[in-house]
Amino acid sequence: MSTTAKIHVFDPTKPASAAAALWPAAASKHPKASATRVVFSAEDDSVTALASLGPDFGAKMGHARREVVRRAVGSAMKQVAALEDVNEVLVDGEADPHAAAVAAHLAAYRFTLKTSGPKRVEASAIKALESSAEWDRGVVYGEAQNLARTLMELPSNMLTPTLFAEWIQQEFAGLADTTVWVRDEEWAKEKGMRTFLSVCSGSNEPGKFVEMHYQGAPSSDAAPLVLVGKGITFDTGGISLKPAADMKLMRGDMGGAAAVVAAIQAIAKLKLPINVVALTPLTENMPSGSATKPGDVIYAMNGKTVEVDNTDAEGRLVLADAIYYGSSEFNAHTLIDVATLTGAMDIALGEVFTGVFTPSDTLWEQLYVAGEHEYDRLWRMPLDDDYAPQISGSSCTAALFLKSFVHGLDAERPIEWAHIDIAGTMEATREKPYLLKGMTGSSVRALIETRLSYKNSIESIALLLRLLDPTVPPFTRTTAAN
């Protein structure tokens, strides 16, 4: 038995016909935002979920308005996706097709490895009642975040550095304008990536350094955006072993790598007119006879000397060489690194905001606007030299450490750099309006959205217009695909 469900979100102050017919009281009582009613009809075996946008939807603008739509669609989707025989869902996303598509895909997502796991509504079975470019774009955003969630959820034996690299190669095969290189430890040795290799050395699983290129700019020489993602496929802490409780969460310590892989793939699918390079240093952090020990001294790729105080601070070691390589090799205008770096982020910002460290006000503004647009929210943290003398693993000290590996910060036209620490937002410990508990794929949508509005005059104008008038659709590239 299979049934198609429909989702309608409606403004109760002016109920649409479907809502008026199925939930007549809504017009007089104005149910609060996200209040949902599921209506079954035995006559034609149909299921319809109605979700209210709340009595003050008409007064809501911009980011706030979009989030109301996401929550309403998410609330309805969670209910219909849980119904046993529903396996196709049609969404009336007219209120905001992009936001509706994102929420529908995020709310329908279920991760399971069981062969007879809970029934799920496949992404391909979630459709718009009325097709639009906005909806299609939203699907790419939502699916990108779901991809990052899956990669983070996968157990470490199913996503070793080798398997992760193979998976990227398969996933990018046939994706226009992209090239993938999988580098091995031998290559890293030749490059002098000794801090990266110092983490690889403790594991029997060989480290991999994956380099993805997307050429979407009219000129292949156009300076690229470089994304760097921390890819510790399992973090035991190394010789400075972590406590056993909750250690399995450390299968998600490659969340930064997952985020940048998902973002560059989405940017390629959207055919954005920019060049992007994504780099993921992939390795396990294990204790063994060949592991790096506390007190060991390593010379990084850029010549700096690093004393390892605690081997559980391995993230900054793999990032140090990757950030230096990314900022010195490609003539990048911007480098953004994403990492589950410091547990202290969770104490500072909880699961609500992701911390961003950057010396650039311009880049921060772009990231902030993008994060608000997608409700993938970012908060600027201090990046200040006064944190340097602190030896403890505070988030600010870690960010300052990374800064010393960014090449070109003091150039005449300095590279823009931001460090995004997703350690606090990597996992939802409580259910959210359109996310079930589990790995979140946080910052993926903010990253895609940032690129949509960056370093491109036409896009900047579109962005400005959107800030002034939220009903102006975002810039979409319309040139032919190849």
Binding site for Zn ion (CB under 5 A): 235, 312, 314
Of residues 97 and 161, the one with the C-beta less far from Zn ion: 161
Q: How far is the CB of 341 from Zn ion (least distance, A)?
A: 9
Taking a C-beta distance cutoff of 8 angstroms, is the pair 250, 234 a contact?
Answer: yes
Query: Closest CB to Zn ion among 345 and 435?
Result: 345
Per the annotation, the verdict on 70 as an active-site residue is: no
Pick the catalytic residue from 37, 242, 304, 455: 242
In the complex, the smallest distance separating the C-beta of residue 317 from Zn ion, rounded to whole angstroms, is: 10
Catalytic residue (choose from 65, 78, 316, 466): 316
C-alpha atoms less than 13 angstroms from C-alpha of 471 in its C-beta half-sphere? 5
Closer residue to Zn ion in complex, CB, 235/421 = 235
235 backbone dihedrals φ, ψ, rounded to 5° = -115, 105
At closest approach, how far in Å is the CB of 312 from Zn ion?
A: 4
Task: Please state the length of the chain.
Answer: 482
**Residue for token pair 């796991």:** 117
477 is catalytic: no
Q: How far is the CB of 199 from Zn ion (least distance, A)?
A: 9
C-alpha 25/C-alpha 29 separation (Å) is: 6
Complex with Zn ion: residue 233 or 366, whichever CB lies closer:
233
Q: Closer CB to Zn ion, residue 188 or residue 423?
A: 423
- Min dist CB 171 to Zn ion, Å, is 26
Task: Provide, rounded to whole angstroms, the least separation between the CB of residue 278 and Zn ion.
Answer: 22
Q: Which residue, 211 or 314, has its beta carbon nearer to Zn ion?
A: 314
- Helix 62-81, helix 361-374: angle, nearest 10: 40
Question: What Cα–Cα distance (Å) separates residue 264 from each residue in 30, 154, 221, 365, 447?
Answer: 42, 20, 18, 21, 9
* Residue among 473, 375, 319 nearest 74 (CA): 375
Quote the least distance from Cβ 354 to Zn ion, whole Å.
18
Which residue minimizes CB distance to Zn ion? 312
Q: Would you say 242 or 377 has its CB closer to Zn ion?
A: 242
3-state per-residue secondary structure call for the chain: CCEEEEEEEECCCCCCHHHHHHCCHHHHHCCCCCCEEEEEECCCCEEEEEEECCCCHHHCCHHHHHHHHHHHHHHHHHHHHCCCCEEEEEEECCCCHHHHHHHHHHHHCCCCCCCCCCCCCCHHHEEECCCCHHHHHHHHHHHHHHHHHHHHHCCCCCCCHHHHHHHHHHHHCCCCCEEEEEECHHHHHHHCCHHHHHHHCCCCCCCEEEEEEEECCCCCCCCCEEEEECEEEEECCCCCCCCCCCHHHHHHCCHHHHHHHHHHHHHHHCCCCCEEEEEEEEEEECCCCCCCCCCCEEECCCCCEEECCCCCCHHHHHHHHHHHHHHHHCCCCEEEEEECCCCHHHHHHCCCCEEEECCCHHHHHHHHHHHHHHCCCEEECCCCHHHCCCCCCCHHHHHHHHHCCCCCCCCCCCCEEEEEECCCCCEECCCECCECCEECCCCHHHHHHHHHCCCCHHHHHHHHHHHHCCCCCCCCCCCCCC
- 305-307 and 208-215 beta bridge pairing: unpaired
Q: Which is nearer to Zn ion, 57 or 234 (CB)?
A: 234
Q: How far is the CB of 148 from Zn ion (least distance, A)?
A: 19
Q: How far is the CB of 398 from Zn ion (least distance, A)?
A: 11
Considering the complex, state which of residue 315 and residue 326 has its C-beta at the smaller distance from Zn ion: 315
Catalytic residue numbers read 242, 316
